[in-house]
Amino acid sequence: MAPRYHVVTLFPAMFAGLTGYGVSGRAIRDGLCSVRFWDPRDFTRDNYRTVDDRPFGGGPGMVMLVEPLDLALTAARVTLRRQGVSAPRLIYLSPQGRRLDQAAVAELAGAAGLVLLAGRYEGIDERLFARHCLEEVSIGDYVLSGGELPAMVLLDAVIRLLPGALGHADSAREDSFVDGLLDCPHYTRPERYMGLEVPTVLRAGNHGEVARWRLRQALARTLARRPDLLERRVLSPLETELLGEIRREGDAASAASD
């Protein structure tokens, strides 16, 4: 059964970019997954379709009402249960949550169903966590106007890992962070442009040398830009050898410039 993704959001139209274009849009059209939206306004009881109110205790901003969100989340869960997903993961997109990284994306890509809650205003009524055992996931240490963009980021990252979503089976495996390293540089035609040339090794046809070059470049980039990734990585003998070469070259360049 294809994974089913439900999103509770005040602005379903914002997701048109995700559902209509690119890898995610094609995956949805091909039936590799499905995405459905639930608007909390459809679960309100007043003529104004009110979804927020002032916080108890005072303070700036508004808080999303518990009942419309509770009913929307319940509707999503019941629908998924009827479709054969008995225990979907419920995720609230929040800057207070677990940081979304490639390992978390891979974990979520294995779920049969996800229910994402995109909040707005100052946040959601805390009682929703008790009602639905919401997980919190963050895409970074900053604040956005709402959870729609983080929900799209999460879904795009998850969908591209589904079997058949990418044009080549190796594409997802060779992305940055999949093996704990940043990605290597990439080149395509023409071989020469404005005095800049594609590295000879990539044009020579020796697949073993190409693989070694790409690994070396990935290690060099990771060392320069994200050395913290190397600190928690168990290096293979080849990676240790290449990293030693990179560091010796860096030391020699520093000494030459002194």
Give catalytic residues, as residue numbers: 95, 122, 160, 175
Contact 152, 45 (CB under 8 A): no
Contact 101, 109 (CB under 8 A): no
What angle, rounded to 10 degrees, do the helices at 148-159 and 102-109 form? 70
Give the max Cα distance, the chain: 75
Q: Return d(Cα 253, Cα 248) in angstroms, integer.
A: 9
DSSP code, position 166: S
Q: Which residues contact 109 (CB under 8 A, 6 or more apart)?
A: 3, 158, 161, 162
What length is written for the chain? 258
Question: Tell me, what amino acid is at 58?
Answer: G
* H/E element, 135: strand 135-138
Q: Return d(Cα 197, Cα 214) in angstroms, integer.
A: 16
From residue 177, how far is each of 216, 219, 233 by CA, in Å? Answer: 15, 12, 11
Question: Tell me, what amino acid is at 180?
Answer: G
Residue 132 bridge partners (DSSP): none
Query: SS3 of 2, please?
Result: coil
> Strands 34-38 and 135-138: what pairing?
unpaired
